[in-house]
Chains A and B, each alone.
Chain A
Amino acid sequence: MVDEVNMILEMRKEDAAILLRHFRWNKERLIEDYMDNPPKVLEAAGLGPSSKSPARLEAIPGFMCDICCEDEEGLKSFAMKCGHRYCVDCYRQYLTQKIREEGEAARIQCPAEGCHRIIDAPSLDLLVTHDLAARYQELLNRTYVEDKDILKWCPAPDCENAVECAIKKKDLDKVVPTVACLCGNRFCFGCILNDHQPAPCELVKRWLKKCADDSETANWISANTKECPKCNSTIEKNGGCNHMTCRKCKHEFCWMCMGLWSEHGTSWYNCNRFEEKSGTDARDAQARSRVSLERYLHYYNRYANHEQSARLDKDIYTKTEKKMVQLQTASGMSWIEVQYLNSASQALQTCRQTLKWTYAFAFYLARNNLTEIFEDNQKDLELAVEALSEMFEKPIAELADTKLKVDIMDKTAYCNRRRIILLEDTADNLANGRWTFNVDLKSITPNASSGVNSRG
């Protein structure tokens, strides 16, 4: 790309590279803007008006370095084309600090105050040690990935790969752009989180936030509180009798039947009146407000369960891994013959990951004709995964049984197949806008209010 620009615009390669970086590697825009007004573009990119002489170190008579104030005869100095000249030592130390300590590369400016000229690679090579220049190059490469929207670093620890994916931000409500790095890590290109198919990024963000805010609190609220029938404040009954007085609205009611206390007559401490109208109404309202909470907990508990089970499956696998070795010696199976356990473990992990997110997805899904198919697919996969998980937990002696081995292999293949079917079906409907959600996928409002009022 640098070569192309260098040819079209007839400039030095290193200048072309700086320009490209300034334009975030958008070649077309660079050329267009440059043709319009070359000096302006050069100035903005930190290239300024240039003279022709190549970069070199010089000893200029009577020179004094403005940084260290040294002025001895024969002091070697350097200046970029902006003409701001400093001694080699100062220049070197400046660059070293920028690169080593600040991790800066593409935007290192001339050391002069107010001069925005960017240092280019040949000048740098002239001034610094070899390994520093290498570090500089590495940082430059990094900016190439960071500047370009279609490239992202693989988030796996110690993985140095970048992954390319041409997905546009505005399409994230239609596609869940899951990518697999060469290192084996699968992640979402849209938000860099782990693979969260089939749920779109926006739902994932909301879900994670909601869970972080609510789940534990919500569980507790659900188990220990009721809402005031009049003002809906959440109330914890911390002891005492059934005659409740809401702290907020002073409404008096019975904890048992939720009806008006005034209707209780003299049956204090003993609520046996379930027929009065006010009580039924209040319980209805209570029930409705509970439903949304219960609904959330329904999905959350299943989501959390798969997350936990995936962890447990993994633990079992680490143990199994050791047993695989024993199995090899005990039953005379070869290494390749025990690999079916490995595939089973991997299938369990990926399928549980998918199942987990189907529950977050379902939480936001509004009911329509397609949701039933979705739920069927979900159920199918879930049953298969649980069955496989059970087989997988069998003691080592039974694992050696050929029948079980075949069963596990069959189930593994089945799980993988069901997962693909579920994902393809969901993705297809998503791309064609056939799902309806009870939240807006486009809006980037960070606070989707959760509907749980935890302070009474």
Chain B
Amino acid sequence: MENKHPASDNTKLTRREALKLAGVGGLGLILGATGMKSLLPSASTSEKAAATPVLADGIIPFYGKHQAGIITPMQDFICMGAFDLTTTSLDDVRKLFQSWTAAAARLTAGQTVDEESGSPHLPPADTGESAGLNPMRLTITFGLGSSFFDGRFGLAGKRPAALVDLPRFNSDEIRKEWSDGDIVVQVCANDPQVAFHALRNLARIARGKAVLHWVQEGFQRTGAADPSGSTPRNLMGFKDGTNNPQVSDPAVANEIVWVQPSDEPAWMAGGSYMVMRRIRMRIEVWDRSALDDQENTFGRHRDSGAPLGKTNEFDDLELDRKDANGNPVIPANSHVALAHMDGKVKILRRGYSYSSGLDARTGQLDAGLLFICFNRDPRKQFIPMQQKLASVDLLNEYITHVGSGLYACLPGASEGGYIGDTLF
């Protein structure tokens, strides 16, 4: 298995993709990807929907100015892990990122992690569980935690000022085993096995240099379950991500997501800061709260996703609307009202639901949101927003932040270079 899709890109249809598309619109005609996209119902009602991939098993280029997996429209699954370096040699770190870059470029192109030797006396180079599978829009995104910049590698002076230690927010119950790490690797794909395979093989490459600190898998509804690409719902049943910035517009992405050349430090230009929060939902409690409580908590209608008192998901919030008694229609301490931040502070959310079985102590589901967001400077974006949310958000009754991390996601690499080459 060398290259499963030598000629595959997002403009050509494989037989499988064609069949999938035919099923989507109930059409028997294959018009080519571009024509088909425009025929899909509701695809043009929002940029969010328009950006949703039609070709579920395409290849997302690994090399580029920015890393993929940040403004890339979300895939269906995530398998994310943080590593702690066991080596204390910067040269080892450099080699690790070179090996990881080569591996990630192959994997995202739908290839095995490395060439096979063919020797029956050696373990196969690739672990094999993705053999014959499509690339499934696999992306692999690397970031550095603040602990990376302690004294070990002589890089303490290079730590970006924006890579702060996150403050403790109200009612945080952060646990070490779900937090931080020297390096974060976010793997997303439209297939959970393809995603797991990638993280597993990267962990294998790291042996002797780095060990996994935590791993978390996540999911959302699949493209197959919702071909229209409407805003996904979180495990509380509400649409989540309606107000996400339209980062398909480069000006918006530059403003909100990408570290600019004018920002310090220079080696981060084209990168972004990722915040990860493992947010446990008190699902059992939520499930027995009344519909109007739930809707007041979010500030939206559950079914339509419309702001309270409105009918369509993408209607303006108009937070200053009052009811007959002079009270705000959307409670001021509802999630949507607080996260709006007067429209001035924005982040790009890219989170997934998670379900990690049972909490053995309580017999309750350990499930919630693997919150991920990207921002250009967390000191001006995520942190003030979360400080506000953590203090008064009605949602806090139903959620607990149990894991946390802030990572400097490196700029993209060009072919011949490697992720991290601007720093190492």
Q: Is chain B found bound to chain A in the same assembly?
A: no
